[in-house]
Chain A
Amino acid sequence: MALLEVSHLSVSFHTRNGIARAVDDISFSLEQGQTLGIVGESGSGKSVCCYSLLGLIPRPPGRIDSGTAMFAGRDLLHCSEAELRRVRGDKIAMIFQDPMTSLNPFLRIGEQLIEPLVYHRGQSRDAARKQAIALLEEVGIRNPSQTIDCYPHEFSGGMRQRVMIAMALIAEPQLLIADEPTTALDVTVQRQILELINELRRKRNLAVIFISHDLGVVAGIADQVLVMKDGRMIEQGPVHSLFDNPADAYTRKLLAAIPRGAKSAADRSTNQDLLAVNDLTTRFNIIDHGKSSELIAVNSVSFRLRRGEVLGLVGESGSGKSTLGRSILNLIRPSSGSVCFDGEELVGRDNQQMKPLRRRMQMIFQDPYASLNPRMTIYDTLAEPMLLHGIASKTDVDQQVLKLMDDVGLARAYIRKYPHEFSGGQRQRIAIGRAIATRPEFVVADEPVSALDVTIQKQILELLLTLVERHNLSMLFISHDLAVVRHLCDRIMVMRAGQLLETAATELLWAAPAHEYTRTLLSSSQTELPEAR
């Protein structure tokens, strides 16, 4: 008999604005020791589905409309709250997406770790603590008998996720629900956490439900996969057949959206340098509780970007890649070094002196929710740069804005709407439109797709490639995602701790990475589709 048997689960949210069906008739089952991957884009209902099993959705407004979820002889959906509480943390445990916020910052991790044992098993605190130390050791926390008395903020993100896993497993549950457990982590850490979950599952014969938006990650860990969209099940099956032979068009679309392989467009690089960066260094003074220290975010970086080139800049969080991008555009003032744009030195210019060059170099930002002024219509947002730089005159600005909207694939009907009326992908189109409104030669794109769902991500990447070609742009493309960079860039620079480790033509870097760190990055980020297993 299956460990968990969910049938015909439907959940809706009843708000003032109406009823939203978050989960619509979902059924699946899961055996001991198996991993089920639930895949979907944001808003697909994949998390709500699992949270409702444990009574963790807020009620009201949430409501379970129908269905059963049989687990060890009882129906989770029709349990009393007290019965459910005995299941949670004891028989079924959860880990969450963001380890930074999922641990209580006010309690020592030891206290948080032993709680399931103390409250479910009535164990003494001393015995529970011994068990917690052993488990911390097992999940790879160094020196656990001391670190157990630390507070969460004293750990890095990856370490916190290890603590979360230990906390979930301490009462030896039969089922672990992992809700995007690696999404907030850097690729190298992501790989370690996935391996840890897999190892623990094998050792303990755990059943795992692994929720993710990332098909690549799910492919690497799941036995069964369930694809969800808009609350409904699209298809379900063993991981191999689903990936090799997707039955549904949406699944095929998801698979096709994963950036794979080399750049398809031609390399348009010329021999002429557009940008020459020499010994660029940016330091920050950090004042923390009265103590001032210095952070060298960009440390003596030198490179060249050729006209027509798409140059990738890759690094993990905190590597200084965003600061480098902003330092080049003089949005952050560099401390020393030189940035030469088409023969003109940028370092040392003030805003007034920058202005004539601003038209020629623009930026696309990561967060499409923060990068648009919420009180300006699309028209205002796009017309502002055109009027400022004389691209359009008062008489033809309307036509120019409409043309620009066509260019970035926005329906003309939206022209007088405000940013909050759009989805993330549409907003990013608006932001891209603003960046190319001044007809620049050079664009810095700082993680322009990392906040977007995978299918939208593909559309925006295609738009960027089209625009590069159509407007003869040169681009510095900053990303943490190696697959995306490979798909888009002619050359790649790898950055760590403020320094450039290596620069190479894309396929050359893939074939023969020179630096150890690059090798680690590459091996961590290989998308593990089944044929590669």
Chain B
Amino acid sequence: MWRFIASRVLQAIPVLFIVITLTFFLVRFAPGGPFSTEKAVVPEVKRALEAQYQLDQPLLAQFGSYLTDLVHGDFGPSFKYPGRTVNELIAAGFPATAELGLYALLVAVVLGMAAGIVAALNPNSWRDYVPMSAAMIGICMPTFLLGPLLVLIFGLWLEWLPVSGWGEVSGDKILPSITLGAAYAAYIARLTRSGMLEVLSQDYIRTARAKGLPEYVVVFKHALRGGVIPVVAFLGPAFAGLLSGSFVVETIFQVPGLGRFFVQAAFNRDYTLILGSTVFFAVLIVVFNLLSDVLAAWLNPRLRAGLGVK
């Protein structure tokens, strides 16, 4: 098991390096520097600013010193928020994003798996059609449409729930979490359904039934383990999707999280903040992919044995 994890971590390093390199040079080659929007900056001031942020040095040297800082966990200063470091900005935005992501993941997994299991146990009945139609709506209703619609219906028309903010009024976390989680609940429902149907048609389920086991034992003890493996493997990509979804959701609901910072940084050409948050996101995504891969492999005894644990 440890060897498997180690090899996956080793594989993650080139990924991170590519991400950092690509982002760094993309951002540097972008037309229009961070200070070009402020009109009529005195050349001396501009040069002083550039020196302060080391923009006057050769590109490779800049890259080198950025990498060195990064290894020490230092994302550097922000261009647009003078006096604040990227570390501080990430630290300020991350809690809200993490909380939102966690709730959304919870919504996705709980709703999605429940719907998928119910559908798979009653194929081609209304208990199948209703959740699966809902899942289809979830897939065809993108986050940036679902969010405003929910705001319109539950916030503005029915006035049941607050329309924006995060942790300011009670209940203001409900709509963003549902909005972000809905699409993934839909994907997970479909995955769970097809995974469970596949497993339920296996010979060993027939064996379990022939043993006279109660239906809940057949479903939850014998079938679910195999049926959730595709779902677990999907959690990694789902997490990456949730992060990019948070750009939109945090903007719509004015959640003070990293996603909103990132979108603003992109518009402001705040080099170091873009770089910093991209690297931060990439690390998160790589870690989550790793976790979901390891978990999926661990759920399968055959693979687990191959991974070197008994």
When A and B assemble into the complex, do they touch directly, with CB atoms less than 8 Å apart? Answer: yes
Which residue from B7, B209, B226, B299 sits with its C-beta under 8 Å from A290? B7
Main secondary structure of the interface of A (DSSP, over half): mixed
Distance in Å: Cβ of B123 to nearest Cβ of chain A: 10
**Which of B204, B208, B209, B299 has most A Cβ within 10 Å?**
B204
Of A98, A107, A115, which one neighbours B203 at CB under 8 angstroms? A98
Contacts of B211 in A (CB 8 A): 88-89, 93, 115-116, 119, 167
User: Which residues of the partner chain A approach B204 to less than 8 Å between Cβ atoms?
Assistant: 101-105
How many residues of A are counted as interface, with CB atoms below 8 angstroms from the partner's CB atoms? 32
- Asked if residues A154 and B214 are in contact (CB atoms below 8 Å), the reply is no
Interface residue? A341 (CB, 8 A): no
| Residues 20-61 of chain A, each 1 if its beta carbon lies under 8 Å from chain B, else 0 | 000000000000000000000000000000000010100000
**In the complex the two chains form, what is the Cα distance from A102 to B207 in whole Å?**
6
Contact with A along B274-310 (1 / 0, CB 8 A): 0000000000000000000000000111100111000
Most chain A beta-carbon contacts within 10 A, residue among B4, B212, B213: B212
A101 touches B212 (CB 8 A): no
Residue of A nearest to B301 (CB): A151
- The interface residues of chain B lying within 8 Å CB-to-CB of A93 are 210-211
Measured CB to CB, the closest approach of chain B to A67, in angstroms, equals 20
Contact B210 A88 (CB under 8 A): yes
By the criterion of a CB under 8 Å from any partner CB, how many residues of chain B are at the interface?
26
A89 touches B301 (CB 8 A): no
Is B225's beta carbon under 8 Å from chain A? yes
Give the dominant DSSP class at B's interface: helix
Q: Are B213 and A115 in contact (CB under 8 A)?
A: yes
A167 to B211, CA, bound (A): 9
State in angstroms the CA–CA spacing of A56 and B118 once bound together.
Answer: 21
In the bound complex, CA of A94 to CA of B209 (Å) = 10
Report if B217 contacts A (CB, 8 A): yes
Interface residue from B7, B210, B302 paired with A89 (Cβ < 8 Å): B210
CB of B36 closer than 8 Å to a CB of A: no
CB distance B299 to A89 under 8 Å? no
With A89-B213, A119-B212: A96-B203 Cβ-Cβ less than 8 Å: yes
In whole Å, how far is B90's beta carbon from the nearest beta carbon of chain A? Answer: 36
Residues from chain A with Cβ under 8 Å of B4 in the complex: 289
Q: Are A94 and B210 in contact (CB under 8 A)?
A: yes
A119 touches B307 (CB 8 A): no
Those of B164-211 within 8 Å (CB) of chain A: 202-204, 206-211
Complex Cα gap A120–B301 (Å) = 27
A288 within 8 A of B: yes
Does B80 sit within 8 A of A, measured CB to CB? no
Distance (whole angstroms) from the CB of B134 to the closest CB of chain A: 25
Question: Is the beta-carbon distance between B302 and A153 smaller than 8 angstroms?
Answer: yes
Q: In the complex, are the beta carbons of A104 and B214 less than 8 A apart?
A: no
Distance between Cα atoms of A105 and B227 in the complex (Å): 12
Note all chain B residues with C-beta closer than 8 A to A515. none
Given contacts A96-B203, A151-B305, contact A106 B210 (CB under 8 A): no
Which 7 interchain pairs have the tightest Cβ spacing?
A88-B212, A89-B211, A89-B212, A101-B203, A106-B225, A151-B301, A94-B210
- Ordered by A's residue number, 16 sampled pairs between the chains whose C-beta atoms are within 8 Å are A56-B206, A88-B211, A89-B210, A94-B207, A94-B210, A96-B203, A101-B204, A102-B204, A102-B206, A106-B300, A107-B225, A115-B211, A151-B305, A153-B305, A288-B306, A289-B4
User: Which residues from chain B sit less than 8 Å from chain A, CB to CB?
Assistant: 4, 7, 202-204, 206-214, 217, 221-222, 225-226, 299-302, 305-307
